[in-house]
Amino acid sequence: MIAIPGFSTPAAGADAPLEMLSACHARIERQCATLLRLAAHLSARGVDDEARQAATSVMRYFDLSAPNHHADEEQDLFPALLESVAGSDASCLRALIDGLSAEHRALEAGWRRVRAALVGIAEGDDALWRANDVNESEALVALYERHIRCEEDELLPMAARLLDDEALAGIGRAMAERRGL
């Protein structure tokens, strides 16, 4: 069984933007786990109601929420962090941010490849689901795992140290506005 919608993830609001980003990471991990379970489910049972629901759920998340998450970081968090440091610290931070931004592009490209196969599954047709799609899904999940670990272990703790309440409030307002809150 795929377990849709899965376990709940703690909610965090725009008044706590770093916690909101971290909560989003947990939701991404949950969707990645669903994607991996879906591959196994399709091998065992083919396309059924659970598979269609899982494919639809994963597509909805990565089509809507993931782009907002990347924008939260690239348009708000990254610039605020760069503004908060100077000198050699800025160079090190710039390298980290450039790497994470490049990973966002790789994640988006990987998602487009996986999504193409999920559309058929959501519509009840697994003719497009091939071994290559399993490999693409696994590669996407592995990249997300590495990316999230870097953000959780390096970026968010750094942001908590460097950003003052005013900067965090600004990031939170932008995040809320992006979501129409």
21-35, 40-54, 57-71, 163-177 — which is least confidently predicted?
Answer: 40-54
The pLDDT, as a whole number, for residue 71 is: 97
Higher pLDDT, 40 or 33: 33
The pLDDT, as a whole number, for residue 6 is: 37
The burial of 42, by beta-carbon neighbours within 10 Å (0-12 exposed, 13-18 middle, 19 or more buried), is given as buried
What is d(CA 88, CA 110) in angstroms, rounded to the nearest whole number? 33
Mean pLDDT to the nearest integer, 52-65: 95
Closest CA to 151 of 64, 81, 60: 81
Higher pLDDT, 152 or 125: 152
Does this model's pTM top 0.85? My answer is: yes
pLDDT (tens digit per residue) in 169-179 = 999 999 999 99
Our separate counts of H helices and E strands in the chain read: 8, 0
What is d(CA 121, CA 48) in angstroms, rounded to the nearest whole number? 9
Task: Please check the confidence at residue 69 and state whether its pLDDT lies above 50.
Answer: yes
The end-to-end CA distance of the chain, in Å, is: 34
User: Contact, 168 vs 18, CB < 8 A?
Assistant: yes
What domains are defined for the chain? 17-178 (1.20.120.520)
Residue with tokens 């050699």: 88
